[in-house]
Amino acid sequence: MTVFSLEGRTALVVGVANDQSIAWGCARALHAQGAKLAITYLNEKAEKHVRPLAEALGAELILPLDVARPGQLEAVFAAITAHWGRLDTLLHSIAFCPREDLHGRVVDCSAEGFGQAMDISVHSFLRMIRLAEPLMARGGTCMTVSFQGSGKVVEHYNIMGPVKAALESVVRYAAAELGPKGISVHALSPGPLRTRAASGIAEFDELLDAAAERAPTHMLATIEDVGAYAAFLASAEAANVTGGVHAIDGGYGIVG
């Protein structure tokens, strides 16, 4: 029995890099519930990895998107407007920080590195929401991906902790502003899990082992876990849920 359905709904998924990406887990789950997909890839180098995945899900739009390149984000939404004329779900799963700033102390982070991390990891979500808003005339769901380093000091997560804290604050304010229009805004917060992006964090394997040991379930979250939660939040049944940071971590975050 299907508890909820996304049949006939449309979804933009940003952040698929390979079949280990959180965004890929979300795309698969949205598709499984019946959503029509638009999937983006970062650049030509990434396209060869992303396009076959997107095609396997029958994505109706497969588009380039580097949010740091002027005009690309607007082009994506122009294509969605021309193809569907509306958008029901937005999934934002991108983050970036220059390596030297990511691996250094927070107090030593350069202004340039901090600005770039905030622009790509946080402000790009705001820009996407702003472009999605007129396409969500009948309501919709906007989601991003955070991490518990936003509220607690996680060794080696460094400047991305404050960046994710800003992202979570953006979720709350956007949810308050868009709630009257029936648009919900969420942050998905899995515990440590294996993705290509996470591999850039120093000593991440040790963090994964410690998380599995500490979590009440003794299991790490998977991209399928995150996808299942995202699909529910995109459904009509979750229309009265908004503004939250949703922990998907086997209980890791509750353990002192």
d(CA 170, CA 150): 13
Angle between helices 124-132 and 160-178 (to 10 degrees): 20
For residue 36, the surrounding DSSP H or E stretch is: strand 36-41
Catalytic residue check, 164: yes
**Of 41, 164, 229, 252, catalytic:** 164
**Of 157, 173, 229, 252, catalytic:** 157
Q: Could you tell me which of 78, 66, 166 has the C-alpha nearest to residue 120?
A: 66
Residue type, 35: A
d(CA 179, CA 172): 10
d(CA 79, CA 48): 21
Active site residues: 157, 164
